[in-house]
Structure 1
Amino acid sequence: MFQWLQTFMAVFEAKNFTHAAENLFISQPTVSLHIQKLEELTGSELFIRNGRNHAVPTESAELLYLRAKQLDSLWETSLSEIKQLQGNTRISYPIGASQTIGVYLLPHVLPQLQATFPNYDFVIHIANSTTIFSKVEMHEYNVGLVESPMIAPTIERAIFAYDSLVLAGNPKSELWLLREAGSGIRAYTEQFFQHQNIIPQQKMEIASNEAILNMLQQGIGKTLLSDLSIRDLPSIPPPEKITRPLFQIHHAEFPQDELQIALYKLLLEMFQ
């Protein structure tokens, strides 16, 4: 059945039976058979065939994909932990961090974390908060560090610090530099616009704090950003103070491991 699930995930991601077969180096009839077996087992249609080998996932497939990804990740973690008990492997440990946390806070705790867990190879992914929530929910990241107040039924979160948002850049400029939808700072910026009754006359969306900072250093535009990242740029506090919590998140259905607990303690000690 595990092989059926791997085939199912390949079809789900490719949205195409032929491409899935090519990616898995198996025949298309084998792909079709695996999907048929899963549909018989679940009693539900997983894909709607639309045109030549095109596969549109059903609602059942959406749920099964989420669970299959979690199972696949848990299986890989279990294999690594079992091998580590035998003393012959290292554990790869993915951590997702939103940009402000990943660039300005996380580097301060990683050396101590590595010293405490020398057999772990940390893989740091910098992404926006929405992406990190999704990856933690699928158990692709063991733990996430986010700036967004968003919630999810399968995610547990705990505050480890706070930061303040400031208005940075040229206050006379009509150009607002905005992070992409899904980022923590974008959610707070939209709230700020609503509270201050601001309708931007010009705006530019940039999915990188560093790129926005470089624009501001050239005297181009203005934005709302964390006081952790403003460097020597001119800035002023907003009319109403904006303080936001920073969260560590993990999947509620998996118990916290010792590394997640240690990371949280380090973050609390250093930044709260």
Structure 2
Amino acid sequence: MFHLLQTFMAVYEEQNFTHAAQKRFISQPTVSLHIQKLEELTNTTLFLRNGRNKAVPTESADLLYVRAKQMDSLWEASLNDLEQLRGKTRTAYTIGASQTIGVYMLPQVLPQLHAHFPNYDFIVTIANSTAIFHNVETHDYQVGLVESPIIAPTVTREVFAYDSLVLAGDMKSELWLLRETGSGIRAYTDQFFQQENIIPQQKIEIASNEAILQLLEQGTGKTLLSDLSVRDFPYETPSTPITRPLYQISNHAFPTDDVQIKLLDLLQQTFR
């Protein structure tokens, strides 16, 4: 059964039978056979064939993918536990953080977290909030730290701090510097535009806080950003102050672990 699910996850991620076969190091007919067997077992259609090798996931596939990723993650955790029983002492632990939190907040608590869990190898990925929610849903990240008000049925959220947003840069400029859709700050920027009836006439979209800060320091454009990231450029508080909650998120299908508990405690102590 597990090998069928591994093939299914490869097809789901690649949405292509040929690419899935290459990823799994098996033949394309074997991939097709695995998917056929899984569809028979689940009594549902998992993929719509679109063209020779294209595979479009159905709603059933969306559901099964999340469950399969959860099982895969639990299997990996079980293997780690067995290795510890055999004397292995180190454990990999994945944390996803959105850019403001990952750059300005997480480094202040990571040394203390490491001191409490010296046998853990922490793997930190900085991405936008939408990507982090997805990877927490599939348990690729064991814990996430996000700025976006996104909700998901399998994700538990807890506020650890609040963040204020400011208008920064050349206020007379018509050029708005925007983060990409899916980022926490972009969601709040879009809300701000609606509230203030702003339709940007000029804009540059960049999937990097650092690149936006560099442009602001050069005197180019303006943006909405966290007051944590303010540097040597002009800024002001919006006429209606914007405060946003910052969340620690985890997948409630998995038990809350000691690292999640300690990380939340450290963040709340440091930033509240």
> Corresponding residue for 1:36?
36
Instruction: Give the deviation of 1:47 after TM superposition.
Output: 1.7
TM-score, normalization by structure 2:
0.97
CA distance in structure 2 between the partners assigned to 1:39 and 1:89 by the alignment: 40
Q: Is the 1:175–1:203 contact (alpha carbons within 8 Å) kept by the matching residues of 2?
A: yes
CA distance in structure 2 between the partners assigned to 1:29 and 1:150 by the alignment: 40
Which secondary structure state, in structure 1, belongs to the residue aligned with residue 228 of structure 2?
A: coil
Q: Does 1:186 pair with 2:198?
A: no
Gaps of at least 5 residues in structure 2 are none
CA distance in structure 1 between the partners assigned to 2:151 and 2:178 by the alignment: 22
Instruction: Give the deviation of 1:210 after TM superposition.
Output: 0.3
Q: Is the 1:80–1:89 contact (alpha carbons within 8 Å) kept by the matching residues of 2?
A: no
Aligned residues: 272
CA distance in structure 1 between the partners assigned to 2:30 and 2:126 by the alignment: 37
Q: Which residue identity lines up with residue 173 of structure 2 in the other structure?
A: S
Q: How much identity, in percent, do the aligned residues show?
A: 71
Q: Does 1:61 pair with 2:76?
A: no
> Corresponding residue for 2:128?
128
Instruction: Give the deviation of 1:259 after TM superposition.
Output: 0.5
CA distance in structure 2 between the partners assigned to 1:18 and 1:100 by the alignment: 39
The within-5 A match list for 1:76-91 is: 76-91=76-91
Which secondary structure state, in structure 2, belongs to the residue aligned with residue 123 of structure 1?
A: strand
Instruction: Give the deviation of 1:89 after TM superposition.
Output: 4.2
Instruction: Give the deviation of 1:11 after TM superposition.
Output: 1.5
> Corresponding residue for 1:11?
11
Instruction: Give the deviation of 1:16 after TM superposition.
Output: 2.1
Instruction: Give the deviation of 1:262 after TM superposition.
Output: 0.4
Q: Please, what is the CA RMSD of the aligned residues?
A: 1.2
> Corresponding residue for 1:232?
232
Larger mean Cα displacement after TM superposition, 53-62 or 177-186? 53-62
Instruction: Give the deviation of 1:19 after TM superposition.
Output: 2.2
Which secondary structure state, in structure 2, belongs to the residue aligned with residue 228 of structure 1?
A: helix
The within-5 A match list for 1:92-111 is: 92-111=92-111
> Corresponding residue for 1:268?
268
Instruction: Give the deviation of 1:100 after TM superposition.
Output: 0.4
Q: Which residue identity lines up with residue 244 of structure 2 in the other structure?
A: R
> Corresponding residue for 2:246?
246
Q: Which runs of 4+ in 1 moved over 6 A?
A: none
Q: Which residue identity lines up with residue 88 of structure 1 in the other structure?
A: K
CA distance in structure 1 between the partners assigned to 2:82 and 2:52 by the alignment: 43
The within-5 A match list for 1:98-247 is: 98-247=98-247
CA distance in structure 2 between the partners assigned to 1:19 and 1:133 by the alignment: 26
Deviation readout 1:170-225 (Å, 9 max, x if unpaired) = 11101010111111111111111111111111111111000000000000000110
CA distance in structure 2 between the partners assigned to 1:171 and 1:22 by the alignment: 52
TM-score, normalization by structure 1:
0.97
Deviation readout 1:227-265 (Å, 9 max, x if unpaired) = 000122211110011111111011122121001000000
Instruction: Give the deviation of 1:85 after TM superposition.
Output: 3.5
Q: Is the 1:206–1:212 contact (alpha carbons within 8 Å) kept by the matching residues of 2?
A: yes
Q: Which residue identity lines up with residue 180 of structure 2 in the other structure?
A: E
Which secondary structure state, in structure 1, belongs to the residue aligned with residue 79 of structure 2?
A: helix
Q: Which residue identity lines up with residue 267 of structure 2 in the other structure?
A: L
CA distance in structure 2 between the partners assigned to 1:255 and 1:237 by the alignment: 41
Q: Which residue identity lines up with residue 222 of structure 1 in the other structure?
A: K
Q: Which residue identity lines up with residue 102 of structure 2 in the other structure?
A: G
